[in-house]
Amino acid sequence: MLDTKVPDFTLPATGGQPFNLAAHGGKIVVIYFYPKDSTPGCTTEGQNFRDLHTEFLAVDAVILGISRDSLKAHENFKSKQAFPFELGSDADETVCNLFGVIKQKMMYGKQCRGIERSTFVIDRSGTLRREWRGLKVPGHAQEVLDYVRTL
């Protein structure tokens, strides 16, 4: 999928407006997929993107966090963590499947289907330029920012 045009999609999102990829043409779009609102790793990851948000804005980048949680759960999570970016609700897994982030995982010793923590960078022309899959949270948001600055 790298170096290919990302198909347009629209997703229910926080902030009262659906997120539409095409509406962000001309900007760099950073999409990070995370397993679940208000869990330790997902909270830390969101906080790291939050803390670097002004630096992402300085390079004309938009951040969108996506999980399968409901819009109501997203609004609570966003508010509690003071995220300055929107969270998209992909309950039917349409966008998750577009990016291939649903995987079989082990959770507490049991097999389950879930989102593999992943981040994607889409350039100003809508082309997928970089992806991170199965990533570790510490230092990740900074690594994404460093990459975005090269575009």
Return the structure tokens found at 111: 């097999």
Return the structure tokens found at 107: 């959770």
* Helix ranges restricted to H, the chain: 40-51, 53-58, 71-81, 94-99, 140-148
The sign of the dihedral angle between the CA atoms of 126, 127, 129, 132 is positive
Q: Which of 90, 81, 108 is nearest to 35 (CA)?
A: 90
Q: Which of 21, 42, 66, 115 is catalytic?
A: 42
3-state secondary structure of 94: helix
Instruction: For residue 42, indicate whether it is catalytic.
Output: yes
Contacts of 20 (CB under 8 A, 6+ apart): 8, 9, 10
3-state secondary structure of 87: strand
Active site residues: 42
